[in-house]
């Protein structure tokens, strides 16, 4: 495979396909986030305690974590086009079935199934960027991709507030599940076109080669793998705590209406999405101008995780206006790290193994995310406040800094010993 030099004109088709991957990420986060908006409204209907709501929120992460590494291995071996199309088709129908739920265990089962099928999004996106974008493009490309995970909740919270008010919570799930199926058509068309172009031009932007895929049993022997896993574990813990519990906090503690809850949560996630994209873009510009990828990527991660620790202040602020301002700052601040964590994974991955390593990264995030809703629910049940849950999240951010700074060395492909 010939690697295209930086002087040749890029294939603009890759940006259109990346756009579809971003859109799919948006859709996936709308689907998984709808339950957190509905939860305050179905508490009495299904007799949901904070503990039970925690189990519902975490059920998605159980399925998601279960399939992260297998999904990465599948896309490494079978490619993206049809694996993603099939997974997308099934997850849309799965999301729609929330609208048919009549019991607590229905939500648990559908959440697990949705998590399993949506697990392909992270490994697939990382693989595509690694293969079609250079090192000094990956921060921006990753920022765009990951922004989908922030735009999704931002748009989703607002859409959910409007649809629930107009049509009820069941139609929210059905409409958000079935309408996005149209995405599959341009996905198959553009990927088929790119396959024809790549066959003619033999272009690749990555350092992938015909070398063998590095087995999982070998990858886990390297410190950088554990740095990626643990760093994203702590990031995922905090992120999924927000995804699961922020609407309930705004609704129950700060006293916002369900529509106002949707708007404020959506605004916070929208700010985060903007920070993610621009942080990735600025990091790329710095690297393009000769700055060390290691210093740049890790510097942004330290800054982002440090701002994430501001969650420690929120329980002690009793004015709703000030509390939401700090929440917006701490949530948005995490965006400085997001794209750069993904760019590090793409850059340190051995040849032909990006999907697997991305699966390990996302497995860490989803494992943390699986624990967060349950532990938060239990802490709220025991203490009757959010204080201990938010303090735990702040210390998780500090642990994430340690993982990325001290366990991951130079940002370059791992040197695998034969």
3 state DSSP class of 160: helix
Alpha carbons 344 and 126: distance in angstroms, whole number: 11
pLDDT at site 184: 95
CB atoms within 10 A of CB 128: 24
pLDDT of residue 198: 67
Closest CA to 147 of 272, 328, 329: 272
Q: Taking 90 as the threshold, does the pLDDT of residue 330 lie above it?
A: yes
Long-range contacts of 323-332 (CB under 8 A, 24+ apart): 323/254, 324/250, 324/254, 324/264, 324/268, 327/246, 327/268, 328/267, 328/268, 328/271, 331/242, 331/268, 331/269, 331/271, 331/272, 332/268, 332/271, 332/272, 332/274, 332/275, 332/307
What is the structure's pLDDT at 3? 41
pLDDT in tens, 363-380: 898 889 888 888 888 898
Asked if 334 and 273 touch (Cβ cutoff 8 Å), the reply is: no
Determine the CATH number of domain 12-203+213-407.
1.20.1250.20
| Cβ atoms 56, 111 nearer than 8 A | yes
More confident residue, 265 or 8: 265
At residue 3, the 3 state secondary structure works out as strand
Lowest mean pLDDT among 228-237, 284-293, 341-350, 384-393: 341-350
Q: Which residues contact 291 (CB under 8 A, 6 or more apart)?
A: none
Tokens of 374: 């349950």
pTM: 0.73
pLDDT tens by residue, 250-267:
888 888 887 788 788 878
Mean pLDDT across the stretch 277-300?
89
Look at residue 7 and tell me whether its pLDDT is greater than 50. Answer: no
Digit-coded pLDDT (tens) for 223-246: 888 999 999 999 999 988 887 788
Alpha-carbon Rg of the chain, whole angstroms? 20
Q: Please give the pLDDT value at position 418.
A: 60
According to the model, what pLDDT value does residue 2 have? 37
DSSP 216: H
């Amino acid at each position: 495979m010939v690697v295209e030099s930086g002087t040749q004109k890029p294939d603009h088709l890759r940006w259109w396909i990346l756009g579809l991957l971003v859109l799919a990420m948006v859709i996936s986060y709308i689907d998984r986030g709808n339950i957190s908006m509905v939860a305050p409204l179905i508490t009495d209907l299904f007799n949901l305690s904070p503990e039970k709501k925690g189990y519902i929120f975490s059920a998605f992460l159980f399925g998601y974590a279960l399939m992260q590494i297998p999904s990465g291995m599948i896309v490494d071996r079978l490619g993206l086009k049809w694996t993603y199309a099939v997974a997308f088709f099934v997850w849309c129908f799965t999301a729609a079935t929330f609208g048919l739920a009549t019991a607590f265990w229905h939500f648990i089962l559908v959440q697990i199934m949705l998590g399993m099928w949506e697990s392909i999004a992270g490994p697939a996106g990382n693989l595509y960027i690694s293969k079609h974008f250079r090192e000094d493009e990956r921060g921006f490309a990753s920022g765009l991709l990951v922004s989908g995970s922030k735009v999704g909740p931002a748009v989703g919270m607002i859409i959910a507030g409007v649809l629930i008010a107009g049509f009820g919570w069941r139609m929210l799930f059905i409409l958000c599940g079935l309408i996005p199926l149209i995405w599959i058509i341009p996905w198959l068309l553009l990927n088929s076109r790119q396959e024809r172009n790549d066959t003619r031009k033999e272009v690749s932007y990555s350092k992938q080669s015909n070398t063998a895929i590095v087995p999982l049993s070998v990858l886990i022997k390297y410190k950088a793998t554990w740095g990626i896993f643990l760093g994203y574990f702590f990031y995922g813990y905090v992120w999924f705590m927000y995804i699961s519990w922020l609407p309930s906090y705004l609704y129950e503690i700060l006293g916002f209406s369900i529509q106002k809850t949707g708007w404020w949560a959506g605004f916070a996630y929208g700010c985060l999405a903007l920070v993610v994209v621009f942080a990735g873009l600025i990091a790329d510009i710095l690297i393009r101008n000769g700055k060390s990828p290691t210093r740049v990527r890790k510097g942004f991660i330290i800054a982002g995780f440090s701002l994430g620790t501001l969650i420690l202040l929120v329980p002690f602020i009793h004015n709703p206006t000030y509390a939401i301002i700090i929440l917006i700052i701490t949530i948005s601040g995490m965006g400085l790290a997001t794209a750069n964590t993904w760019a590090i994974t793409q850059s340190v991955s051995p040849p032909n193994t990006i999907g697997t390593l991305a699966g390990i990264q996302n497995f860490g995030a989803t494992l943390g995310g699986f624990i967060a809703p349950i532990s938060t629910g239990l802490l709220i049940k025991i203490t009757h406040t959010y204080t201990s849950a938010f303090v735990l999240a702040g210390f998780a951010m500090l642990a994430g800094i340690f993982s990325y700074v001290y366990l991951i060395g130079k940002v370059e492909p791992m040197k695998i010993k034969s």
